Amino acid sequence: MAEGGNGVTGWLTRTRGRGRLHWTDWFSYGYLAFGVLLMFGPVVWLLLSSFKTDSELQRFPPRLLPHAQETVTLEGHAKPLPLFEVTAGELAGETVAQVRRIGLSSQVVRLDDPGERIELSLDERTAVEAPALATANYTGLFERFDFLRYLWNSTFITVVATLIMLLVNSMAAFALSKYEFRGRATVLALVIGTLMIPQSVVLVPLFLITRELGLLDTLWGVIIPGAATPTGVFLLRQYMLSIPDEILDAARMDNASEWKIYWRIILPLSAPAIAVLAILAIMWRWNDFLWPLIALSRSENFTLQLALNSFQGEMQTEWSSLLAMTVLTLAPIALVFVFLQKYIATGIASTGGK
Amino acid sequence: MTDGAPRRSVSLAVLTPLMSVIEWPMRRLQRHLGIRRLAWVFLAPNLLLFGLFAFLPVLLNVAYALTGGGNVLLENRPPVGAGNFVQLMDCESYLDPNSCDEDKFWRSVHNTVLFVTLQVGCMIGFALLTALVLNGPIRARGFFRSVFFFPVLLSPVVVALIWKWILQRNGVLNGVLGGAGFETHVWLLDAGWAFFWSVFISVWAHMGFYTLILLAGLQAIPRDVYEAARLDAASPWRTFRRITLPMLMPTMLVVLVLALIKGVQTFDEVYAFTGGGPGSATLLVIQYVYEVGFGGSPRLFGLAAAASVLVAFVLVVLTALQLWATRKNAHG
């Protein structure tokens, strides 16, 4: 990726006009700023919202930052008491702590006189709040849902499917790039042919085949059908073609077996291409939805994506758990992105996605 | 591209036992078959997977499409000839889904055509604009490029939920609109708006991918062509029309066909976003296949397979176009 090696001077003079900003520069930066808002904004909003309490989530219009009601621990009261500001009546302007709520009224105490309980109507007070992160949404996930199971299912499928795909695809790519044999052109044509057959148009027969193999509603039923991708074969073959054949011949002189040549020489030398394919495969499998939706029916086999989707139907209003779960689902991909950005961009540009 | 030497050795340490176990039978095979025929051994697992999960399904798909009933086992399915196709295609007018026997299918076809047209059009338009801006003389290009790119990595369900949360009745969009004195909506319960937002989130999620490809295309245009245009004092618009656009055309063609292929297959994000609703306002054709085949009971595998065959036909035409465009691109 050409990044334009620009030093400090380049940074300062990178404008179209002579020193002054041309209108196209204004347009460019305006557009980019808008882009940052539109692309990052929704994710930031999700993140902020996931730290809000239930009542805060139902608040309209919503506030930007998560807030929580402040509490105070007073003498004679075991639990911390929520703080309120009185808006009307004798105590107007004062801050009080609520001891208990009774219907439309509440018993409160002054902070400096925790012994004396005062009746206060609910409409004569507002909660004292400050920005704070509520982590209950996240902890609730582990207590109330089988979150760890979905996480495990997703991880297992992603890791195993990626490993199988790398092994199988690199073997095929090795054969197609380093051997002259009759039928090679046919095989290459077949591989191209599979490009035309995405899973989404063969769902019914895939269902039957997976069922006949006894893999329906198992994690393997998601792993195996997804393991063969023409993209991987192409990507790796292209890279392996650039490895000189002389290396192989030298190894054969040393009496190395073909399998040894494959995994001791070709695989290590193809590491950059394999890394790119691995990242792509991890992304595809982690985000996979349609086939798992069909292949997995018991909720204990659900992946994170399926669990997310089914919960949004089941608990239409329970956004608190859903938001936290969404954040945790996108977190691994976000981390991969942060650390391996360059590989991803290169990989996707060179394979044309899936 | 760089590679981490330590990472390589770590992965080798994990692989070594496994690979050594395979080594022995492979050596035997090699002695038995000779080096050339060993290629087929290397190909075998991949070809087996392709055969089992790509080629066999294509044949079976046709078999399903020509049979009826609710049984999944082919031997128990009565042949109905072209019955499923007739049911799908039986229409007084293809422009009016209500006049069709299988009106849901045609509604999904209509929706998909409109969806793909809008989505691909908007997406390529914005991707081109973004690529042009990113290719311009700007600071922090790498950062901005990642900003537009990162939604590509999000899962469709996550994309759907992020936007559903923003668009919900008491969501932030209604909050902002209400605060500014505009009309608020229950966005996803209104057919027109639901469709608009489905297209929107789809463009939002996939635009970065096409931006990346177009940007690579732009960066491949030789600098001296622009230099010549500058010496001729050509206006920016003229430079764009006469140089950038024609030289970017091959890339644009590839991007267009790729976007069409993916657009036709759209399912995940719209399904998680609207569920095809309200009514069938955002029902796309893959969701139709899913619902007919797997969504309810009885499972109409025949009808689903027949619809798949029709979609596959469109995709084969598009993929042939893609291969042609890629080849044309590669040969200049």
Q: Where are the domains of chain B?
A: 1-33, 93-330
Mean per-residue pLDDT for A195-223?
90
Same domain for A155 and A275? yes
pLDDT, tens digit (0-9, with 9 covering 90-100), for B5-29: 445 555 556 677 888 888 888 888 8
Residues A122 and A222 reside in one and the same domain: no
For residue A324, what are the CA distances in angstroms to A49, A55, A141, A203, B129? 9, 15, 8, 32, 34
Distance from CA of B96 to the nearest CA of A (A): 25
In 3-state terms, what secondary structure has residue B298?
A: coil
| pLDDT (0 to 100) of residue A213 | 92
Instruction: Tell me, letter by letter, the H, E, C secondary structure of A123-163.
Output: HHEEECEEECCCCHHHHHHHHHCCHHHHHHHHHHHHHHHHH
Interface residue A72 vs chain B (CB under 8 A): no
Given a contact cutoff of 8 angstroms between Cβ atoms, the answer to whether A243 and A270 are in contact is yes
CA–CA gap between residue B306 and residue B87 (Å, rounded): 10
Place of tokens 């055969």: B51
User: What is the per-residue DSSP string for B224-292?
Assistant: HHHHHHHHTT--HHHHIIIIIHHHHHHHHHHHHHHHHHHHHT--HHHHHHHTT-STTTT--HHHHHHII
Domain presence at residue A23: yes
The whole-angstrom separation of Cα B279 and Cα B11 is: 51
**Domain match, A157 and A257 both:** yes
Give the range among A17-26, B133-142, B245-254 with minimum mean pLDDT: A17-26
Residues B107, B98: Cα–Cα separation, whole Å: 8
Residue B13 confidence (pLDDT):
66
Show the domain range for A105.
Answer: 68-132
Side-chain-side CA neighbours of residue B222 (13 Å): 4
Q: State the DSSP H helix or E strand holding residue A192, giving kind and residue range, or none if neither.
A: helix A184-195
Residues A258 and A118 in one domain: no
Q: Tell me the nearest-neighbour CA distance from A125 into chain B, angstroms.
A: 24
**Both tokens of residue B262?**
């993916």
Looking at the fold, whether A249 and A160 belong to one and the same domain comes out as yes
Residue A62 domain-assigned? Answer: no
- We report the CATH number of the domain holding residue A214 as 1.10.3720.10
> B59-68 pLDDT, tens per residue?
999 999 998 8
Alpha helices, H only, B74-151: 83-89, 103-135, 141-149
Chain A within 8 Å of B170 (Cβ-Cβ)? yes
- Tell whether A30 lies on the interface with B, counting CB pairs under 8 A: no
Top-ranked range on mean pLDDT: pick from A118-122, A149-153, A332-336: A149-153
Alpha carbon separation from B281 to A309, B123, B137, B194, B267 (Å, rounded): 20, 21, 43, 8, 14
Quick one: which of B143, B94, B17 has its CA closest to A36?
A: B143
Q: A167 and A45, same structural domain? A: no
Residue (of B283, B284, B291) closest to B263 by Cα position: B284
For B230-285, the pLDDT digits (tens) are 888 888 888 888 888 888 988 898 889 889 989 999 999 999 999 887 989 999 99
Tallying the residues shown for chain B, one arrives at 332
Give the closest residue to A296 by CA, choosing from A229, A353, A226. Answer: A226
Encode pLDDT of A110-150 as tens digits: 877 777 788 888 778 888 777 777 788 888 888 877 889 99
Both A204 and A310 in a single domain? yes
Q: Which of A101, A132, A163 is the last residue of a domain?
A: A132
Site of tokens 């050596």: B27
Number of domains in chain A: 3
Residue A183 lies in a domain: yes
User: pLDDT digits over B195-206, tens only?
Assistant: 999 999 999 999
Do residues A104 and A181 both lie within one domain?
A: no
Q: Report the CATH number at residue A113.
A: 2.30.30
Is the CB of residue A299 less than 8 Å from the CB of residue A310? yes
Q: Shortest CB distance from B23 goes to which of A46, A209, A257?
A: A257
Residue with tokens 């309200």: B278
Inter-chain touch A333–B153, beta carbons under 8 Å = yes
Q: How many Å apart are CA B107 and CA B112, to the nearest integer?
A: 8
State the DSSP code for A36. Answer: H
Shared domain for A82 and A188, answered yes or no, is: no
Assess whether pLDDT exceeds 50 at residue A288: yes
Q: Are residues A89 and A157 in the same domain?
A: no
Residues of B with Cβ-Cβ distance to A346 under 8 angstroms = 1
Given pLDDT bands bounded at 50, 70 and 90, which one contains residue A353?
very low
**Distance between CA atoms of residues B95 and B218, nearest Å:** 40
Is residue B165 within 8 A of residue A49, CB to CB? The reply is yes
Q: Which residues of A touch B14 (CB under 8 A)?
A: none
What is the fold, at CATH topology level, of the domain defined by B93-330? MetI-like fold (1.10.3720)
Residue of chain B whose Cα is closest to the Cα of A224? B49
* Residues linked to residue A100 through DSSP beta bridges, in sequence order: A107
- Does A278 have pLDDT greater than 50? yes
- Residue A63 burial by CB count (10 A; 0-12/13-18/19+): exposed, middle or buried? middle
Q: What is the secondary structure of B98-111 as a DSSP string? A: GGBTTHHHHHHHHH
